[in-house]
Chain A
Amino acid sequence: MYRNKLQTNVILSATIIAIGILLLSLSYSDSSSKFKGVISTIITPLQINIYSLVEPLFTNEPIAPEELVNLNATLTAEIALLRSENIRLSETIYERDMLAALLNYTKLDNVNTYISANVIGKDTSSFLQYVIIDIGTTGGVQRDMPVVTDAGLVGIINEATPRASKVLLVNSDQMAVNVRVQNSRADGVLFGQASKDLRLRYISLDATISAGDLVVTSGLGGSLPANIPVGEIASVRSRAYDVFQEAEVLPLANLDKIEIVMIITDFTTIELKPLISTPIPDDL
């Protein structure tokens, strides 16, 4: 009796595993993403409804009146400071445009088009850094589009179904972002870690970087627009016998508590592969 049951269970398990392997091998083709899309279409409305039901439980408590007064004073002072800086920057832009016109130099301003989305879920695995947002291909979202918050870069769209999309977060160990340290103009690559930290690598030893420096996207590689703030350097590791400097970076966006994100929809990833694989002509 037990032997028969064991046999049945093993056969059934083998069949399920075979289905899993089949789906896994199909995941490199369109059919698997269609299957995933169908499931996602079914569960997304359910997910949105459940999230909207419980969202009030997780939102922050209202701020006390005294705190609001203090916050108001701080923000008023900040507005005054930003106004004066705005005037100064407007003058700088005017001057830049004049000089650019004189030199016949054109450069597009970094003004992007955004669509906003709510975060309705996180990856079911504790070891992967993804969030699920409530907008998909029907809303104009496509794979590889950059995702930001008011604080800075959050990640990129990794998968888009008609009604929902998955965002690969910048602190995922699958992410590498070409960045620039704003003060020193030093280029480097920012890597996510399995521990969810950010590590800045390949910074030249000559570059002067220090804690508190702002890290922005460099636009190199063409996968992200330039000048999106990403993080702030927390500590620097620079040793004379190393080839490069390294730094720990704290993300500007709170990646553990993202509620609303914005997707940059007018940025097109530049495909560099054709350039890399250009064959050398025979006659050379």
Chain B
Amino acid sequence: MRNIILGLLVIPFLAIFQSTLLPYLNFHDKFKLDLILVIVLSWNLAYPDSESLLWALLGGIMLDALSGTHMGINIISLTIASLIANLAGSRVWSTHIILRITVGITGTAIYYLVYFLLLTTTGWKTDWANIPIENFVRSIMINVFVIILILPTARWLAVKITKRSIDI
């Protein structure tokens, strides 16, 4: 429950931050950070609990509300991407840096793939030939970099909110 409450407190503010502040930062012209995607992936990696998947639902709702796309597109894309992070986070070697990089790359790539497929199926005119690939690569790079940076904090937070219990 603490996990969901934390999500309810954090996600709306970060979604507004992504919409209101990030576009005005100088680096954002070159490196566009998908803050909600990064937070959801990091959290699922740090705290691979079932409730963490609800962060994807919440993040998706917020992104869809602040975006011009149909409602539901970001929910589906984020959930699929976060499931990968959640499953990877459940492994013993989840702290390994290679895993963080892999989750960052595959999570972002799968998120965008599902996102554009859904856009196309809902009648959005996607010019596949002219999609700026360099923007994708830059997004993946910045997302991975931020995941590596914030994961220790996410882990610390995950430990703080975890109920301590002893199974006998």
Contacts and interface: CB of A to CB of B under 8 A. Distances in A.
A128 B118 CA distance: 14
Nearest to B25: A58
Contacts of A2: 90
A24 interface: yes
Interface residues of B, number: 55
B29 A39 contact: no
Interface residues of A, number: 52
Nearest to B128: A194
A20 B66 contact: no
A173 B125 contact: yes
A43 interface: yes
Contact of A24 (B18, B19, B73, B126): B73
B63 interface: yes
A16 B53 contact: yes
B67 A128 contact: yes
Instruction: Across the A-B interface, give the 4 residue pairs with the lowest CB-CB distance, nearest first.
Output: A24-B72, A126-B32, A20-B75, A23-B72
Contacts of B29: 256
Given A5-B50, A124-B36, A43 B75 contact: no
Q: Is the interface of B mostly helix, strand, loop or mixed?
A: helix
A9 B127 contact: no
A162 interface: no
B152 interface: no
8 contacts: A19-B57, A19-B72, A27-B71, A43-B65, A51-B20, A54-B21, A58-B24, A173-B125
Interface string B79-107: 11001001100100000000000000000
Main secondary structure of the interface of A (DSSP, over half): helix
A230 to B, nearest CB: 20
A84 interface: no
Contacts of A32: 70-71
B144 interface: no
B78 to A, nearest CB: 9
A132 B19 contact: yes
Interface stretch (B2-10, B131-139, B155-163): B131-139
B67 A10 contact: no
Contacts of A194: 127, 130-132
Interface string A26-41: 1100001001100110
